[in-house]
Amino acid sequence: MGKRERSLLAESAGLHEAARGVLADHVRALEAVRAALAPIRAELVGRELESIPVSRLKDVTEGRLRLGALEAAGFGSVRAVYETSRYALRQLPGVGAQTADRALGAARQIARAVEETVSVRIDVDHPEPRTTALVIALRTLVEAGPELRRAVDAATRLDARLGELLPEARPAGGRLGMLLAGRQKRERALAALAALRELTADAGARDVRLLLAQASADLLRTPASELEAWVDFELRSPEYYSQLAEVSEHRSDVAAAEGFLPSEVAERVHAQELDDTRRRVSLRGYQDFGARFALAQRRVVLGDEMGLGKTVQAIAALAHLAADGHSHFLVVCPASVLINWTREIGARSTLRALPVHGAERLEAYEEWRERGGVAITTYDMLHSLPAPDAAVGPDPADVADGPVGPVGAGAKPGMLVVDEAHYVKNPDTRRSKAVAAWAGHCERVLFLTGTPMENRVQEFRTLVRYLQPALLPAIQHGTAAAGPHAFRKSVAPAYLRRNQRDVLSELPALVQVDEWEEFSAADREAYLRAVEDGNFMAMRRAAYADAEKSAKLGRLRELVAEAAGNDLKVVVFSYFKDVLGTVRQALGADRQAQATDQQAAGRLVFGPISGAVPAARRQRLVDDFTAAPGHAVLLCQIEAAGIGLNLQAASVVVLCEPQIKPTMEHQAVARAHRMGQVRPVQVHRLLATDSVDQRLLHLLKNKTRLFDAYARRSDTAEQNPDAVDISDSALARRIVEEEQLRLAKEAG
């Protein structure tokens, strides 16, 4: 035994110390959050207990509790009993020791049940010391990012393993130690030394030391200031709520979060590992389950309600497969979301996203074949791409009329993801046949759709035919008639759906999504004319110049259709009255094409509310929109409807273009996202790449986040929202000049 063995022991001890340091730092961060959370949860529990009459204590004790003396003493609620000591209760006239103990025990039992159900909501517009302390504590965990979970898991494993091996291997640190040890101890020491050598080599190969060092550095950073923490919370609130749910161990209904799957399917999903080394985002519990479901069941439909992050779950599944050695993946989606997929893959994972679209799609496809990554193409382009020739999964004859297009030696995807999968509900269309051909060649296929399938059984049968044809005999119309639980049980091997109300109890009530679209040819022609004329307002609404070919209108129709499928109300904002007229015509035509009663179809779209509409008429439009059963759409000019109207009936907000004044958007969204809103509000901002939209956002974002937050929270800003906005005319001139220069360079 010599220098090499001592060096190995020292290295192992250092690794053990680093692992224990991360675990200790993590515990301190968790305790800081729990300490900040405790008084907030206590107050929430207290409020709930205040609303429960003291008579309910009898229910807990099955009627064995006599409450007359407590009620006579003025105890009207469970909270009053819960917050009173056993000694104080026993001093009340007519209350004996047994009654006091039973009453207090029953109150504590109810309090524990309440504590499991209360959800902490952080009000960013009304910060107070307790929530500020909570946000600051949470920021430490959020800043550490998804790598923190990997570091803690690695540290936990190392701490356990090294804690066993180091004492066993200690005699091998010197000749004397080995001489004094008995034969069995020497054998154990040598075996432990060999295990340490293997463990440290593996840790070195996986950069575990760097992972642990970074985690400790993140956890030991100086706490953020109040302002920094609140600004960061506004930008990344889902990540804060995700950490809050994990720390508080507050969970939504497990059965609902798991889509009411049968136990045997749920157990198989739980057993599926999910590697996060190629992922850059933390997952909510239900999202983690959804990604595992896609991997465990291999060929499935993920049908979560809109706003639950189906894209993120798909990316998590792709990242797992990439970490497992798969190199090629394919995403098929409508053209309107191709840009979003490209951006999301780059932001949420380390995977390489490669759009395969347009005139150079075949060159991009060949690059994908050679280099791998995630190829992203559209339904209209898929049929023209050579499909891989190694068939896996169900017989193509079972899923369509046979392969479509040239079938060449393309790389077989590790997973095929089909977004907005209800687009292929008609098996006779070209797009459906192309998807079927690719699905027949892929072992793993993930269909994404927010449309509830239990209401459209025939469409769902079509989707299952692409995925798991053996399930078709079990999927009949009568199954859906028996209720959603019975339906989901019959299709559990291939279908997972969760609803917002079941799984978003701790998430903020506002989810914002930027919907990036590429100009259609007609859009671009109108835009170039507007830039040439120096017409800023025409540039802003060029994307709606041709309603039939407008990319933004296409995406808006999709959003409204998905909201209709989920019985959600939609409010559409635009600065321009003529844009709203175009939107009304487009949506009205859609409704009339789908409805048998033309008058009923017209009632689905209300407005537009504009400056020319009297205030009383505006309110009547809002009242009619609110009273309409189920889905409806309200069109609003943002300056007219952004202030003073209560639009909380809407849970989906669409902004047709970005606004020059950030406060204008904020106030408009606040019409729906306000006190009394019972559903999470989804805000979709329609944006065009390489356009005034992109320039406008870039210039507005150049103002520092801290200044924005300070100005917005100051008394002056509350009294005069225009105080923090850039001059309209100056901004318009600058954008027009920059766009003219950019397009001139491109032309040259």
Provide the CB-side half-sphere exposure for 674 (13 A, CA): 17
What is the distance between the terminal CA atoms of the chain, rounded to a whole angstrom?
74
Distance CA(319)–CA(328), nearest Å, equals 11
- Cα–Cα–Cα angle for 339, 340, 343, rounded to 5 degrees: 85
Average pLDDT over the chain, rounded to an integer = 82
Name all contacts of 53-60 with Cβ < 8 Å and 24+ positions apart.
53/77, 53/78, 54/78, 54/80, 54/81, 56/110, 57/81, 57/103, 57/106, 57/107, 57/110, 60/106, 60/109, 60/110
DSSP code of 625? H
Instruction: Give me the CATH topology for the region 510-747.
Output: Rossmann fold (3.40.50)
Distance CA(178)–CA(169), nearest Å, equals 10
CB 214 within 8 A of CB 147: yes
- Per mean pLDDT, which range of 273-282, 466-475, 703-712 is the poorest? 703-712
pLDDT above 60 (res 343): yes
Tokens of 52: 């429960």
* Closest by Cα among 419, 417, 424 to 460: 424
Distance CA(21)–CA(40), nearest Å, equals 30
Distance CA(239)–CA(436), nearest Å, equals 37
Helical packing angle, 3-50 and 226-248, nearest 10°: 90
**Partners of 373 in the β-ladder:** 328
> Letter for the amino acid at 669?
V
Position 178 scores a pLDDT of 58
* 437-452 mean pLDDT: 90
Confidence of residue 198 (pLDDT cuts 50, 70, 90): very high
Position 259 scores a pLDDT of 80
Contacts of 424 (CB under 8 A, 6+ apart): 379, 418, 431, 432, 435, 436, 462, 463, 466
pLDDT digits (tens, 9 = 90+) for 22-38: 999 999 999 999 999 99
Domain 252-503 has CATH 3.40.50.10810: yes
Distance CA(111)–CA(204), nearest Å, equals 49
* Closest by Cα among 283, 284, 331 to 444: 331
* Closest by Cα among 459, 531, 582, 493 to 296: 493
Q: How many CB atoms lie within 10 A of CB 14?
A: 12
Position 448 scores a pLDDT of 95
* Closest by Cα among 435, 439, 413, 411 to 423: 435
**Percent residues over pLDDT 90 in the chain:** 43
pLDDT above 60 (res 290): yes
CB 416 within 8 A of CB 439: yes
pLDDT above 50 (res 394): no
The residue assigned the tokens 């007219």 is 640
3-state secondary structure 700-748: HHCCCHHHHHHHHHCHHHHHCHHHHCCCHHHHHHHHHHHHHHHHHHHHC
C-alpha torsion angle, residues 385, 391, 394, 397 (rounded to 10): 70
DSSP 3-state helix, strand, coil percentages of the chain (rounded to 5)? 60, 10, 30
* 256-262 mean pLDDT: 81
The residue ranges of DSSP E strands in 237-313, in sequence order, are 299-302
Domain ranges of the chain: 1-250, 252-503, 510-747
Confidence of residue 675 (pLDDT cuts 50, 70, 90): very low
> Letter for the amino acid at 42?
A
pLDDT digits (tens, 9 = 90+) for 49-74: 999 998 888 877 766 777 888 888 89
Position 476 scores a pLDDT of 66
* 477-485 mean pLDDT: 54
- Winning range, highest mean pLDDT, from 222-226, 247-251, 499-503: 222-226
Give CA separation, 334 vs 380, 463, 468, 516, in Å. 8, 17, 24, 12
Contacts of 477 (CB under 8 A, 6+ apart): 457, 458
Distance CA(335)–CA(341), nearest Å, equals 10
- Winning range, highest mean pLDDT, from 189-198, 434-443, 479-488: 434-443
pLDDT above 90 (res 446): yes
- Per mean pLDDT, which range of 3-17, 413-427, 550-564, 710-724 is the poorest? 710-724
- Per mean pLDDT, which range of 64-73, 284-293, 550-559 is the poorest? 64-73
DSSP code of 387? B
By CB neighbour count within 10 A (0-12 exposed, 13-18 middle, 19+ buried), where does 205 fall?
A: exposed
* 475-481 mean pLDDT: 58
pLDDT above 60 (res 480): no
pLDDT digits (tens, 9 = 90+) for 297-321: 999 999 888 768 899 999 999 999 9
Residues in the chain: 748
* 547-563 mean pLDDT: 92
Position 249 scores a pLDDT of 66
Q: How many CB atoms lie within 10 A of CB 48?
A: 19
CB 22 within 8 A of CB 216: yes
The larger pLDDT score, comparing residue 673 to residue 273, is at 273
Confidence of residue 481 (pLDDT cuts 50, 70, 90): low
CB 462 within 8 A of CB 475: no
Distance CA(467)–CA(439), nearest Å, equals 7
CB 295 within 8 A of CB 327: no
Distance CA(261)–CA(317), nearest Å, equals 19
* 312-332 mean pLDDT: 96
The larger pLDDT score, comparing residue 727 to residue 186, is at 186
Provide the CB-side half-sphere exposure for 10 (13 A, CA): 7
- Winning range, highest mean pLDDT, from 427-436, 593-602, 641-650, 724-733: 427-436
* 638-646 mean pLDDT: 68
The larger pLDDT score, comparing residue 562 to residue 640, is at 562
Phi, psi (degrees; rounded to nearest 5) at 329: -140, 155
The larger pLDDT score, comparing residue 595 to residue 19, is at 19
Position 727 scores a pLDDT of 54
Helical packing angle, 692-701 and 728-747, nearest 10°: 130
Position 65 scores a pLDDT of 78
C-alpha torsion angle, residues 182, 187, 192, 197 (rounded to 10): 120
Confidence of residue 707 (pLDDT cuts 50, 70, 90): very low
Q: Provide the 3-class DSSP secondary structure of residue 608.
A: strand
Contacts of 602 (CB under 8 A, 6+ apart): 588, 591, 592
Distance CA(321)–CA(273), nearest Å, equals 11
Q: Provide the 3-class DSSP secondary structure of residue 328.
A: strand
pLDDT above 50 (res 724): no
pLDDT above 70 (res 123): yes
Provide the CB-side half-sphere exposure for 305 (13 A, CA): 23
Helical packing angle, 577-594 and 551-565, nearest 10°: 50
- Per mean pLDDT, which range of 267-271, 327-331, 536-540, 698-702 is the poorest? 698-702
Position 1 scores a pLDDT of 55
Tokens of 713: 């929270």
Distance CA(333)–CA(215), nearest Å, equals 37
pLDDT digits (tens, 9 = 90+) for 144-194: 988 898 899 999 999 999 999 998 888 776 665 655 566 778 788 889 889
Q: Is it true that the peptide bond before 484 is cis, omega within 30 degrees of 0?
A: no
Confidence of residue 488 (pLDDT cuts 50, 70, 90): low
The larger pLDDT score, comparing residue 398 to residue 416, is at 416
Position 72 scores a pLDDT of 87
pLDDT above 80 (res 483): no
Position 409 scores a pLDDT of 41
Distance CA(584)–CA(557), nearest Å, equals 11
pLDDT above 80 (res 718): no
Q: Is the pTM of this model over 0.75?
A: no
The domains spanning 252-503 and 510-747 adopt the same CATH topology: yes
CB 56 within 8 A of CB 78: yes
Position 413 scores a pLDDT of 95
Distance CA(169)–CA(194), nearest Å, equals 9
Position 212 scores a pLDDT of 95
CB 617 within 8 A of CB 606: no
Confidence of residue 705 (pLDDT cuts 50, 70, 90): very low
* 703-719 mean pLDDT: 36
Position 726 scores a pLDDT of 46
* Closest by Cα among 197, 36, 253 to 132: 36
- Per mean pLDDT, which range of 291-295, 331-335, 484-488, 563-567 is the poorest? 484-488
DSSP string, 485-543: HHHHHHTTTTEE---HHHH-SSS-SEEEEEEEEPPPHHHHHHHHHHHHHT-HHHHHTGG
